[in-house]
Amino acid sequence: MRARDLMTAPVITVHPWTSAKEAAELLSMHGFTALPVVDDDDRLIGIVTEADLIRGRIPVDPRHAHEHHEAASAGKTVGDLMTSPVTAMSTGTDVADLCEALVDARIRAMPIVDGSAVVGIVTRGDVVRVLAREDVEIARDVKHRLEIYGGSGRWHVDVHDGLVHITDQFDDDTDRHVAQLLALAVPGVIAAETAHAGEEQTR
């Protein structure tokens, strides 16, 4: 599975001169965790997250004013708060590599680019939603891809907890290898194995 299979697109972006308030409104309205920041030519130059927007933005309750706190900053723009430079990945990035980057870098969202243009975004939540897909949905998608490739009535697909087992009526190693690759590209598939129907009957 590639980033393009998982990403949210089109993606909502902001500019460095966008106000922090407007960025917060966009995150709140859409339920996002981050917004890519682009320049005049729509090239990715940074990212602004929930954490960036709340850091130092809420004034201290006057009843606790005797405690030491920084004064809340007002009138900030995205350019003042964003992280730059920003890590991004291409549409063809393997989702396994993308997940590793999200975890290792302790980030919640990864902008997806085509060249320097932002074309989508993938969040940890997107990955979790894929992992939670129902087996019946996964089986339907796998079967659909296999039928496009090798015709209907040829394949039997079983899915259990994201593990796909494909039985092929024909004994063709190349086709079974392609079937496995097609299954692995379906969102929610954890692993895929194939067998010839004749092998299944002799078990």
- Identify whether residues 59 and 16 lie together within a single domain: yes
- Identify whether residues 21 and 96 lie together within a single domain: yes
Q: Which H or E run includes 114?
A: strand 109-114
- Identify whether residues 11 and 108 lie together within a single domain: yes
Q: Which of 64-68, 133-137, 141-145 has the lowest mean pLDDT?
A: 64-68
Count of beta carbons in the 10 Å neighbourhood of residue 75: 8
Task: HSE, CB side, 13 Å, CA atoms: give it for residue 130.
Answer: 24
- Two structure tokens written together for 53: 């927007």
Residue 11: pLDDT over 70: yes
- Identify whether residues 47 and 126 lie together within a single domain: yes
Q: Cα 70 from chain centroid?
A: 36
Q: Give the C-alpha separation, 40 to 47, whole Å.
A: 15
Residue 74: pLDDT over 70: no
Domain holding 21: CATH number?
3.10.580.10
- Identify whether residues 140 and 154 lie together within a single domain: yes
Tokens 């969040």 sit at which residue? 123
Computed over every residue of the chain, the mean pLDDT equals 87
Question: Is 90 within 8 Å of 2 (Cβ atoms)?
Answer: no
Read off the pLDDT band of 71 (50, 70, 90).
Answer: very low
pLDDT at 166: 95
Residue 14: pLDDT over 90: yes
Higher pLDDT, 65 or 184: 184
Structural domain of 83: 3-131
* Phi, psi values for residue 196, rounded to 5°: -85, 140
Q: Residues 26-55: what's their mean pLDDT?
A: 90
- Identify whether residues 53 and 96 lie together within a single domain: yes
What's the total number of domains in the chain?
Answer: 2
131, 163, 179 - which closes a domain:
131
Residue 198: pLDDT over 90: no
- Identify whether residues 123 and 141 lie together within a single domain: no
96, 131, 166 - which closes a domain:
131
92, 116, 131 - which closes a domain:
131
Read off the pLDDT band of 57 (50, 70, 90).
Answer: low
Domain holding 180: CATH number?
3.30.1340.30
- Identify whether residues 155 and 65 lie together within a single domain: no
- For 109-132, letters b (16+ CB in 10 Å) and e give bbbbbeeeebbbbbbeebbeebee
Residue 65: pLDDT over 60: no
Q: Give the C-alpha separation, 62 to 161, whole Å.
A: 53
- Two structure tokens written together for 37: 């920041």
Number of residues in the chain? 203
Q: Residues 101-130: what's their mean pLDDT?
A: 91
Count of beta carbons in the 10 Å neighbourhood of residue 98: 22
Question: Is 92 within 8 Å of 31 (Cβ atoms)?
Answer: no
Strand partners, 97: none
Q: Residues 171-182: what's their mean pLDDT?
A: 92
- Identify whether residues 175 and 79 lie together within a single domain: no
- Identify whether residues 122 and 140 lie together within a single domain: no
- Identify whether residues 77 and 167 lie together within a single domain: no
- Identify whether residues 31 and 84 lie together within a single domain: yes
Question: Is 168 within 8 Å of 153 (Cβ atoms)?
Answer: no
Q: What is the pTM of this model?
A: 0.71
